[in-house]
Amino acid sequence: MTDRLESSAATDEVAAEPSHRPFHESAHESAHESAHESAHESAHESAHELAHELARSADPAPWELLGEEPGFQRFLTVRLRRYRMPDGREVDWDVLGPEAGISAVTVLPLTPEGRIVTIRMFRAGPDSIVTNLPGGRVEPGEDVAVAGARELEEETGYTCETLDVVGWQWSGSSSTFRKYVAIARGCRPDGKQQLDEAEDCVPVELSVDAFRAELRTPGAMTGIDAAYLALDHAGLL
């Protein structure tokens, strides 16, 4: 009987012991876990639905790559590929890409207040100042998340608490260039901006609504596809 009482008292004492973790941390983690589980389930369901839809129709027959010749080559390259189509015809196709094995990463940086860190910079293609998300080249053999955090700090002077790579996409239908997309959270301007020789980035924080308005404005931004993908994964669409 004494043993039972001692065991019961010990159990009550453990149960009564206050948690060393603040309530807001516990609640935040619980909400984060629930949101993560919900997002994972939603993504799984979407992938299943997509597979079901694609199964309804047959893909066209693949083309056969016959050969490839080098063309213009600096940071960006143009290569000429010759393909044989399913009906036997042969066609040439210009393929755009960076140096072999090089990819890039685009980062959606979120501050603790939920604002988005963007950069304003000159782009030679549009020949004007535009809004961008920070990002840049992933060096050969470099971890994509490491590259994302590095590019974030170099271009904005912000550091982050966490950075998650959420996916990747082709840069274009005639490109071999992979663009990874990452979400950085807990971003603060406590790092050191280190711009490349040909960069002039000015960091600008935008609200989510202002950022989405910028996305809808023709010619205001580059990298819109990566931005929408990041917003989707962040639950901000």
Q: How many CB atoms lie within 10 A of CB 17?
A: 8
Which pLDDT score is estimated for 18?
41
Q: What is the 3-state secondary structure of 23-55?
A: HHHHHHHHHHHHHHHHHHHHHHHHHHHHHHHHH
Residue whose token pair is 């608490």: 161
Which pLDDT score is estimated for 38?
56
* H helix runs in the chain, sequence order: 2-16, 23-55, 144-156, 208-216, 224-234
> Can you give the residue ranges of every domain in the chain?
64-96, 103-234
Going by the DSSP 8-state scheme, the letter that residue 233 receives in this structure is H
Q: How far is it, in rounded angstroms, from Cα 185 to Cα 193?
A: 18
pLDDT values of the chain reduced to their tens digit, one per residue, 237 residues: 444 444 444 444 444 444 444 444 444 455 445 545 655 566 667 677 776 676 666 788 999 999 988 888 877 788 899 999 999 999 999 988 766 557 899 999 999 999 999 999 999 889 999 999 999 999 888 999 999 999 999 999 999 999 999 999 988 788 888 899 999 999 999 999 999 888 899 999 999 999 999 999 999 999 999 999 999 999 999
Would you identify the CATH topology of the domain 103-234?
A: Nucleoside Triphosphate Pyrophosphohydrolase (3.90.79)
Which pLDDT score is estimated for 40?
57
For 83, what's the count of Cα atoms within 13 Å in the CB-facing half-sphere?
A: 13
Q: How far is it, in rounded angstroms, from Cα 122 to Cα 124?
A: 7
